Structure 1
Amino acid sequence: MAGIVGEVMTREVVEAHRETSFKDVVRLLDQYRISGLPVVDDDDKVVGVISETDLVRRQAVRSPDAGARRFRMPRPRRSARRAAAVARAGTAGELMSTPAVTVHPELRIADAARVMERHGVERLPVVDEEDRLIGIATRRDLLRVFLRTDEEIRREVHDEVMTRVLGLPAQSVVVSVHDGVVTLAGAVEEGGDLPLAIRLTYRVDGVVGVVNRLTVRIVSGPVGPAKGPKEPGAEHR
């Protein structure tokens, strides 16, 4: 129900090693029509990431005068030592950005998107519990969950969340969806179901917002048999 990275990541990953040459990296990007790739060591552990931006900066640093005559490019925030290293880079290990920002397959898609935004990256290598590469997730992969139709979202919220998980009667909650925004209307019997219903609805793939119009129906406890007045001396029987 809740979208996680492992469900949308690409498992066949194009990768490089530290010793992969600059030209071979360019060939890989062109051959597979990708904009970046992870760099791994001999144990398949991610040690860095290379993007097209790294390649462009390498060329810009190597020919600063020629580029400056025609274009005024923003100067990247990096030390002179790092700029010199980029200019001399002939292998993936010398060119890669490190440390790599990685995620685990159990991470929620929404949280992975926040990681991308926070670090300004467009792809996230996915690693297992031993930090070995098992996949890669791109912005496009993460955005696919928002391409679901409103009817698909409505059906999952109603059938999976409300009926199956929370065990509510099918007609007790009305679910409607417009442009990914879910509106919940109706009544739940226990107060604890209300925050849980909202929280689980937010976790459904494609949901961008939840409007809560649910009310809590108070259910009185069981009523015991009426007690009449005690007969005199009953306590001694």
Structure 2
Amino acid sequence: MRISKYMTSKLVTARPEDGSRTTFFRMREHDIRHIPVVDDEDELVGIVSDRDLRRPDWVDQAPDLALVYHLDDEMKVGDLMTTSVITVHTYDTLHKAVQLFLEHHFGCLPVLDKTDALVGIVSPLDLLRAFDELEGKALRARKDED
């Protein structure tokens, strides 16, 4: 099974010069925890997660989100993003993505096409959907055999 079948292709992206506050609320608006960061040519230059936006010296129980997160647009995504991003390609297998998730404990993997253009993102939830679909097919096949 190829990643292209299960990836999320409706991308929400950020630019390195975007403010952390703007990016945080963009992520909340779209109910996502990771956002690929692209340059002016839409090439992947990094990724930022909701965890990257958190201040390391505050705990989740703080009464004000602004105290927990870097919610100041003077703090730029480019200063907070991870730049050494491991990616997968549309033609890679789900098995490869699973192995990368298990090895590195990522929350997502950006997906590139054969020209290395960013075309999607795959998350553990996408892999669970794939598993559910495949398991459902296997169960139906066994039922048909009985």
Distance 1:103 1:150 in 2: 24
Residue pair 1:43, 1:132 contacting (<8 A) in 2 also: no
Change over 3 Å in CA distance of 1:31–1:151 after alignment to 2: closer
Distance 2:123 2:111 in 1: 10
Report runs of 4+ in structure 1 exceeding 6 Å deviation: none
Q: How does 1:159-170 map to 2 (within 5 A)?
A: none
Q: How does 1:1-237 map to 2 (within 5 A)?
A: 3-56=1-54, 59-60=55-56, 64=57, 67=58, 90-148=75-133, 152-153=137-138, 176=142
Distance 1:130 1:13 in 2: 17
Aligned length: 131
Residue pair 2:90, 2:114 contacting (<8 A) in 1 also: no
* Secondary structure of the structure 1 residue equivalent to 2:119: strand
Query: What letter corresponds to residue 137 of structure 2 in structure 1?
Result: E
Match of 2:69 in 1: none
Query: What letter corresponds to residue 76 of structure 2 in structure 1?
Result: T
Task: Point out the structure with max Rg over C-alpha.
Answer: 1
Distance 2:109 2:124 in 1: 9
Structure ranking higher on relative contact order (CA contacts 8 Å, 6+ apart)? 2
Structure with more strand by fraction: 1
* Secondary structure of the structure 2 residue equivalent to 1:134: strand
* Secondary structure of the structure 1 residue equivalent to 2:121: strand
Distance 1:151 1:11 in 2: 24
Identity %: 31
Q: CA RMSD in A?
A: 2.4
The alignment's TM-score, normalised by the length of structure 2, stands at 0.79
1:99 deviates by 1.1
Can you give the 5+ residue segments of structure 1 that lack an aligned partner in the other structure?
A: 72-88, 157-175, 178-237
Distance 1:114 1:39 in 2: 24
1:149 deviates by 6.8
Distance 1:51 1:39 in 2: 10
Distance 1:149 1:21 in 2: 41
